[in-house]
Copies of this chain bind each other. A is one copy, B any other.
């Protein structure tokens, strides 16, 4: 049986060229003990993957050039050398960017039992959802009544953050670009603010208008003018959860940071970076709290779906052009 997979041919500077991604294939050997073979049905592409293309060890190891790339995926077990897993099981694992994954079973998990489409475990009930919940609660220590600001608020993570904050009884402002994203945010009870064609100062004014009582919690996905504008509106004791800075992932040279970082001092604010991988021991807590809200339809989530393995690099690259509303996914033939 053959596996088709993407490899990276070089570490890019700036936004990766499509040509850096090569579709390759290999005939799979027999299963080793403890291995499992999975036919993937859904692949995840996520902004953090850009960090693995830098060639430098950041918080995850870089992709190895010429080797199958990795990422979250949902698939069906078609052969197993681990008694914990059997043919027909639907599982989540990290053997993405390919159609057939043959990997150690140690990172392969059957899906929890909730009444949601399976691909939700790559989004609202998976890594992005867990990221939203962790950043909002465990890092930013969000409390009912807080004034919450979220950048990239219509993305896979941001759209969960705004809804979890609303459910907590917070006043929520969401920054996004396209009109249909702003409209979606508004439909969720969020004050939508566009960053388009605005300076940091103008964005700051818009945030002030949307949240006249300042900002207690800022969930940071973007950096750049969003961070500068947020800093200018912080309340005393504000907390900033730094989940991502997608605005700088493809920068070809260093770009200056916010000119008003001294607001951290003036407002006695806290800023903290976090990686969801460090918090997985709280996944069941997250699931217990959020899954019922999803199955009851109280949390709205969107997906942007590309079809076919070949579209995976394009799906990934569109993340940096605002091409997704909610979770960006690749659907494979089933």
- By beta carbon, the residue of chain B nearest A275 is B268
Given contacts A256-B256, A256-B257, A257-B257, contact A262 B274 (CB under 8 A): no
Interface size, A (range): 20 to 34
B271 near A271: Cβ-Cβ < 8 Å: yes
- By beta carbon, the residue of chain B nearest A256 is B256
B243 near A265: Cβ-Cβ < 8 Å: yes
- By beta carbon, the residue of chain B nearest A277 is B268
**In the complex, which residues of chain B have a beta carbon less than 8 angstroms from the beta carbon of A267?**
59, 273
B272 near A271: Cβ-Cβ < 8 Å: yes
B248 near A262: Cβ-Cβ < 8 Å: yes
B264 near A59: Cβ-Cβ < 8 Å: no
Q: How far is the CA of A278 from the CA of B51 in the complex (A)?
A: 39
Give this chain's copy count: 2
A residues 226-275 near B (Cβ < 8 Å) are 227, 236, 242-245, 248, 254-262, 264-275
Our pick among B59, B257, B272 for the contact of A261 (Cβ within 8 Å) is B257
Our pick among B242, B261, B262, B264 for the contact of A265 (Cβ within 8 Å) is B242
- By beta carbon, the residue of chain B nearest A234 is B273
Q: How far is the CA of A248 from the CA of B257 in the complex (A)?
A: 14
B272 near A269: Cβ-Cβ < 8 Å: yes
Our pick among B245, B258, B260, B264 for the contact of A273 (Cβ within 8 Å) is B264
Given contacts A268-B274, A272-B271, contact A262 B223 (CB under 8 A): yes
Q: How far is the CA of A264 from the CA of B59 in the complex (A)?
A: 11
A58: Cβ under 8 A from any B Cβ? yes
- By beta carbon, the residue of chain B nearest A51 is B266
Q: How far is the CA of A274 from the CA of B237 in the complex (A)?
A: 9
B268 near A59: Cβ-Cβ < 8 Å: yes
> Which of A223, A236, A257, A259 has the largest count of B CB atoms less than 10 A from its CB?
A257
A271 near B264: Cβ-Cβ < 8 Å: yes
Q: How far is the CA of A265 from the CA of B260 in the complex (A)?
A: 19
B268 near A245: Cβ-Cβ < 8 Å: no
A254 near B259: Cβ-Cβ < 8 Å: yes
Minimum C-beta distance from A138 to chain B (A): 12
A266 near B273: Cβ-Cβ < 8 Å: yes
- By beta carbon, the residue of chain B nearest A259 is B254
**In the complex, which residues of chain B have a beta carbon less than 8 angstroms from the beta carbon of A274?**
265, 268
Question: Would you list 14 pairs from A and B whose C-beta atoms are within 8 A, ordered by A residue?
Answer: A58-B266, A59-B265, A242-B265, A245-B261, A245-B265, A254-B260, A256-B258, A257-B257, A257-B261, A265-B274, A265-B275, A266-B273, A268-B272, A268-B273
- 7 closest pairs, A vs B, by CB? A257-B257, A256-B256, A254-B259, A265-B273, A264-B273, A270-B272, A257-B261
**Residues of A that sit less than 8 Å from B by CB:** 51, 58-59, 223, 227, 236, 242-245, 248, 254-262, 264-275, 278
